Every structure is written in structure tokens, then in C-alpha cells.
């Protein structure tokens, strides 16, 4: 079922957020931090989560509102969260670029932006998993799904999909590495 892929995206994103959290914790303690790994995670979230995953959800949420207009405020809120998450991704991308270029930036603002990014993404996907997806499954009819599905183009996932893009290979090996 279509929503299964979106659920799988959440599972995958959660793994990336755990990796990002580990790097942020190391950074906070002044320990060695893998900024290149952090850049790969944020790059993927820009390329896939913000550009493929969220637009698919937006289409489903529009159908939810169509089916039951009383969900308008909820759907507006979700669209707004997608926009906010995308702008957090852009901000974190910029600040990581600055670190890598050795620009003078405060450790405090890196820490704040990194942790905020993790927190807001987790909050959003937990809300979708616990509340929104069950509501969508309960509310949308087979006809609704039939009309949504052709509008959802299948786009390959460059990290968790059939073939892993070269730029994500180092990140992929971290995901599949057994816990030390």
C-alpha cells in the first residue's frame, strides 16, 4: 500500500536523526565531529524528505481535507510544518557549509540549529505516525486512493532505494554498521 512507503521513509529518517544526534552530542562535548557525515544527512533530507516525501504527504492531506473539510485546520498546520522543516534544512545546510569553510561562527548557534532540526523533525514524524496516518487510513476511501495514486510519481530514493548514489555511500555504511 502506498502509505507503507511513507511509513518506511519515517523509519529511515529516524535512523538518520539518531546518527545526527550522535554527531551533535560529540560536537557539544568538544569531541571530534564528522561534519561531512552531517552534511550528507542534511543533503539527503533536502533532496528526498523535503522534495519527495513531504510533497507526497501534501497530496494525501489535500485528499483528507477534500473528503472531510473539518480537517482543514489540521491540514493547514501540516503544510506549514513541511515548509518550516524545509527552511530548517536550508539553514542547517548553510551553517554546516560555513563550518567546513572555517568561517567564524558561534558553537552555540550550530548546537541550537542542529538540535532544533532533530527535535522538529522527530516531533513531526511522530505526530504523523501516531495521529495523522491512522486518521488518513480511517478516512480516505478506495476511490480517494485511486485518484491520488496516479498523481504520485515514483521517485527513487537515492540512499535507501534500489541503488545508492555515490555521494551517500559513506553515510550508507554508517547506517548499516553494527552498533559499537
Indicate the residue among 33 and 49 with the shorter CB distance to Fe ion. 49
In the complex, the smallest distance separating the C-beta of residue 57 from Fe ion, rounded to whole angstroms, is: 4
Least distance to Fe ion, CB of residue 128, Å? 5
Quote the least distance from Cβ 54 to Fe ion, whole Å: 5
Cα gap 60→101, rounded to integer Å: 40
- Residue 25 C-alpha cell reads as 552530542
Q: How far is the CB of 133 from Fe ion (least distance, A)?
A: 8
Instruction: Report the residue number, 43 or 57, with the smaller CB distance to Fe ion.
Output: 57
End-to-end CA distance of the chain: 35
Q: Which residues of the shown chain bind Fe ion in the complex (CB under 5 A)?
A: 57, 128
Residues 6+ apart with CB under 8 A from 60: 3, 6, 136, 140, 148
| Smaller CB separation from Fe ion, 73 or 106 | 73
Q: Cβ closer to Fe ion: 16 or 95?
A: 16
Between CA 97 and CA 91 the distance in angstroms is 10
Amino acid at each position: 500500500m502506498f502509505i507503507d512507503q511513507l511509513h518506511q521513509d519515517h523509519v529511515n529518517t529516524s535512523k538518520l536523526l539518531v546518527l545526527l544526534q550522535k554527531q551533535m552530542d560529540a560536537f557539544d562535548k568538544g569531541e571530534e565531529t564528522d561534519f561531512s557525515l552531517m552534511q550528507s544527512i542534511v543533503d539527503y533530507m533536502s533532496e528526498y524528505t523535503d522534495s519527495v516525501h513531504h510533497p507526497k504527504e501534501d497530496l494525501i492531506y489535500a485528499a483528507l481535507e477534500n473528503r472531510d473539510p473539518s480537517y482543514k485546520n489540521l491540514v493547514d498546520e501540516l503544510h506549514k510544518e513541511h515548509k518550516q522543516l524545509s527552511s530548517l534544512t536550508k539553514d542547517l545546510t548553510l551553517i554546516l557549509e560555513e563550518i567546513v569553510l572555517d568561517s567564524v561562527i558561534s558553537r552555540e548557534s550550530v548546537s541550537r540549529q542542529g538540535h532544533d532540526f532533530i527535535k522538529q523533525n522527530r516531533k513531526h514524524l511522530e505526530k504523523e505516525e501516531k495521529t495523522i496516518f491512522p486518521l488518513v487510513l480511517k478516512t480516505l476511501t478506495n476511490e480517494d486512493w485511486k485518484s491520488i495514486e496516479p498523481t504520485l510519481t515514483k521517485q527513487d530514493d537515492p540512499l535507501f532505494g534500489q541503488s545508492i548514489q555515490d555521494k551517500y555511500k559513506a553515510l550508507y555504511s554508517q547506517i548499516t554498521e553494527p552498533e559499537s
